[in-house]
Structure 1
Amino acid sequence: MNNRPDRELSPAELQAFGAELDALRRRTLGDLSEADARYIRRVRGAVRLCCWSGRALLMFGWFPPTWLLGSLLLGLGKILENMELGHNVMHGQYDWMNDPEFAGRQYEWDIVGPADFWRHTHNHVHHSYTNVLGMDDDVGYGVVRLFPEQRWKPFYRWQPLWVTIQALLFQYAVAIQHLRLDQLLKGRIGQDEVRPLARRFGAKLARQWGKDYLAFPLLALLLGANALAVLAGNLLANLLRNLWTFLVIFCGHFTEQAAVFAPAVLQGETRGHWYLRQLRGSSNLSGGPLLHILTGNLSHQIEHHLFPDLPARRYAELAREVRQIAARYGQHYNCGSLWAQFGTVLRRIWIYRLPAAGRA
């Protein structure tokens, strides 16, 4: 069960709680400047440098130092693009720059899922209904039982296996989420709804596979390099990005002290209630600047859920004030090291695979 030492707030306290967080958001919006713009441009530059340096090194073939370094650099570039650049830009965090390259509604990222899919399933559905059972599809992604409040199903017995496959193929799991295949199998939507989405997914998949697994290996052949070494390096880079993204996402949402909510919580939900739900349903990761950059600052998942449209580079400074506000209102601020938080996620995966661990 959820084990959070939170104090229940009166209507007046909830209103004041929401007002304090609204004021913090307004102050931060008013403080955005060229320094924020320079930061995201530097991130874009780092992504390009890592990716192209990695791809160049892979052209040296299987020579261990260059192949491994090339794969790692390409993987690092993909992680930065996915987490700190693409995810944050698509939230509209840099729309105020009026730069088409950083426009949230136009950005297309370097994974198999179309950006428009993500903008709906993540920006709209997940951030509107964070951790609300039956509303937020991110709670277990339909294949994992992580809370006793989730109704048990027989295939959950094997969820350690499902989670492993999901982690290895995380970009595909995120992409097909928008297809709503579970609703199709249950007869709640028709093939006519799914077919155009499947075509868009197929087109994006073809572009990504064509780039990573066809174009660059063919370029290696033309240059007299080892195409298989290039292909393997791209596979490893994508695998590293998948595993890292999975780790960050699960540690931000499904730790021991993260809460889930019944749909009834949405009835008459005020701004203060919404902020409280984000705080109670999120988990932060403690660490240094490198960890925060590599996670796209989703190591500050609490602040991201509270302020998804503020530049993520501001979350570290916001976290100090959010923690103080939470303490004033008797709310637990869930923060721990990456491996401590992941340990509680693994424990949930193992325990809640069985019906005896919760309501059947």
Structure 2
Amino acid sequence: MAITQVAAYAHLSETDIEAMGREFDAIRRDILERRGARDAAYIRRTIAFQRILDAASRLVIAGTRTKGGWLLGTTALAVAKSIENMEIGHNVCHGQWDWMNDPEIHSTTWEWDMAGVSSQWRYAHNYRHHVYTNVLGMDDDIGFGVMRVTRDQRWQPRLLLQPLQNLFLAVTFEWGIALHDLASERARAPGPAEEADQGRALIRKIARQAGKDYVLFPALSGRRWRRTLTANTAANLLRNLWAYVVIFCGHFPDGAEKFTAAVVEHETKAEWYLRQMLGSANFEAGPVLAFMSGNLCHQIEHHLFPDLPSNRYAEIAVRVRAICDKYDLPYTTGPLIRQYLLTLRTIHKLALPDSLLTATSDDAPETASERKFDARAAAGAGATPRRGLRTALLLTGRLRS
């Protein structure tokens, strides 16, 4: 089952957790105090670069006649769309740049280049997901309501098709997110009229997006409209696949833990920090890969400080890792391909009934709770002192040294 007592699972006392929380608060204050012209210049350069790349790629697609030109333009357009979604749209909608008081770069005004409505995404993501990260029944992003990624989710026969469903979600990711966000908005709507308004808002956004990529730009290409249409379709597909990989690698590899609803009752800010750390996962990336992922290779740092500028996550990560070392906590990260393969293993494994699985529901790579340490002690394996969660996991063989 999922974690019911975060402190017990983390092997930390209340005093330790509160002290750690103060250290995270100090990081936040420091970044807020130093945030300024350097950060504003970064986001403005990023937006300018993305728009130039988008325009140049469309000119290459329309102006060249070779397959090589089409491939170059399509790839560049996919990169431009990924940057807009990951490093700009996602982070702007988190309010990371609201402090600039620039109406163009503000969470309440930015409408991104994808099917979903930004305002619907902000509620589903900023609130439902980030406040209640990996809390069962509260975070709708646990499997996005269609995938089984923990044994706490009951198995159903339809899940035998989960590996195929995963592929379908990957190629249609923007549409899946749009429908997911709409469902969250409708769930909180006070009545049928408001539900209908949200549905109409999504239809209008889809019409604008489809009209731009599949009607307007192909029409502007004249007789070469098919070339532009296929390029736009391919670029959107590549963007969907990349966004899917980044998001899944930050939330579903081994080590990204799940929690019961009881953990958020009377939860302090320090305990919230701890839950964010335990419920998120990073992947290793250099500057280019970090930029292309919207700096979500630092998913742990993003969950700790979702409204701090993304260009600061690399420096924040150094301090977060030092805190993990100090309190003997794991810092869940690894190469991108490894994190994705672990995610795929979970998706394929949990497509099967529990009766065909071997590990217990308290001590499996994708599903763990504090009870796994009790079971170890009962078996006589708990005599070795454990200073913290990292050491405890090493002793159970669930963490690489």
TM range, normalised to the smaller chain? Answer: over 0.9
Q: CA deviation at 1:61?
A: 5.7
- Name 1:324's counterpart in structure 2: 322
Partners of 2:180 and 2:10 in 1: CA distance: 35
Match of 2:95 in 1: 92
Match of 2:233 among 229, 232, 235: 235
1:180 deviates by 1.8
Q: 2-side partners of 1:38 and 1:315: how far apart?
A: 16
How many equivalent residue pairs? 353
Paired amino acid for 1:335: T
1:45 aligned partner:
48
Give SS of 1:285's match: coil
Q: Partners of 2:298 and 2:26 in 1: how far apart? A: 19
Does structure 2 conserve the Cα–Cα contact (< 8 Å) formed by 1:61 and 1:229? no
Query: Is the 1:121–1:178 Cα contact (8 Å) retained in structure 2?
Result: yes
Deviations, residues 318-341 of structure 1 (Å, cap 9, x unaligned): 001001101111211001010010
Q: Return 5+ residue gaps in structure 2 as ranges.
A: 362-401
Q: Tell me the residue number matched to 1:29.
A: 32
Aligned 8 A contact 2:186 2:195 in 1: no
Q: Which residue of 2 aligns with 1:105?
A: 108
Taking a change above 3 Å as real, the CA distance of residues 142 and 183 of structure 1, as seen in their structure-2 partners, is farther
Identity of aligned residues (%): 45
TM-score, scaled relative to structure 1: 0.94
Structure 1 191/164 Cα, relative in aligned 2: closer, same or farther at 3 Å? farther
- After TM superposition, the structure 1 stretch with the greater mean CA deviation from structure 2, 56-65 or 194-203, is 56-65
Residue number in structure 2 paired with 1:198: 199
Q: Deviations over 1:19-43 (max 9, x none)?
A: 1101110001100121111110111
Partner Cα separation in structure 2 for residue 193 and residue 164 of structure 1: 33
The one-letter code sitting in structure 2 at the alignment partner of 1:258 is A
Which structure has the larger Rg? 2
Q: 1:212 matched to which residue of 2?
A: 213
Distance in 2, matches of 1:290 and 1:61, equals 27
In the aligned structure 2, how far is the partner of 1:73 from the partner of 1:340? 26
Aligned in 2, Cα 1:170/1:343: closer, same or farther, shift over 3 Å?
same
Q: Tell me if the contact between 1:2 and 1:256 (Cα under 8 Å) persists in the aligned partners.
A: no
Asked whether the equivalents of residues 6 and 330 of structure 1 are also in contact (C-alpha less than 8 Å), the reply is: no
TM-score norm. by structure 2 comes to 0.84
Do the aligned partners of residues 153 and 175 (structure 1) sit closer, same or farther apart at CA in structure 2, a change above 3 Å counting?
Answer: same
Cα 1:181–1:335 change in 2 (3 A) is closer
1:9 Cα shift?
A: 1.3
Report the Cα distance in structure 1 between the residues aligned to 2:108 and 2:338, rounded to whole angstroms.
36
- Residue 334 of structure 2 aligns to a residue whose secondary structure is strand
Larger deviation: 191-200 or 321-330?
Answer: 191-200
CA change 1:181–1:13 in 2 (3 A) is closer
Corresponding residue for residue 269 of structure 1 = 267
Q: 2:256 is matched with which residue: 252, 255, 258? A: 258
CA displacement 1:155-196 (0-9 Å, x = unmatched): 111111111111100001111112228988xxx997544322
Change (3 A) 1:182 1:345: farther
Q: What corresponds to 1:17 in structure 2?
A: 20
Q: Residue deviations 1:123-169, cap 9 Å, x none?
A: 11110100001110100011111112222222111111111111100
The AA in structure 1 aligned to 2:324 is A
Check whether the contact 2:2–2:260 (CA below 8 A) recurs between aligned residues: no
Alignment of 1:301 onto 2:299? yes
* Counterparts of 1:322 and 1:102, CA distance in 2: 28
Amino acid of the structure 2 residue aligned with 1:238? N
- Shift in alpha-carbon separation, 1:337–1:80, aligned structure 2, 3 A: same
Cα shift at 1:204: 0.1
Q: CA deviation at 1:215?
A: 0.4
Q: Output the amino acid matched with 1:219.
A: L
Residues 1:7 and 1:124: Cα distance change in structure 2 (over 3 Å): closer
CA contact (8 A) 1:86 1:109 kept: yes
**2:343 corresponding residue in structure 1:** 345
Mapped to 1, the partners of 2:217 and 2:155 lie a distance apart of 45
Matched residue of 2:63: which SS? coil
Aligned letter for 1:228? Answer: R
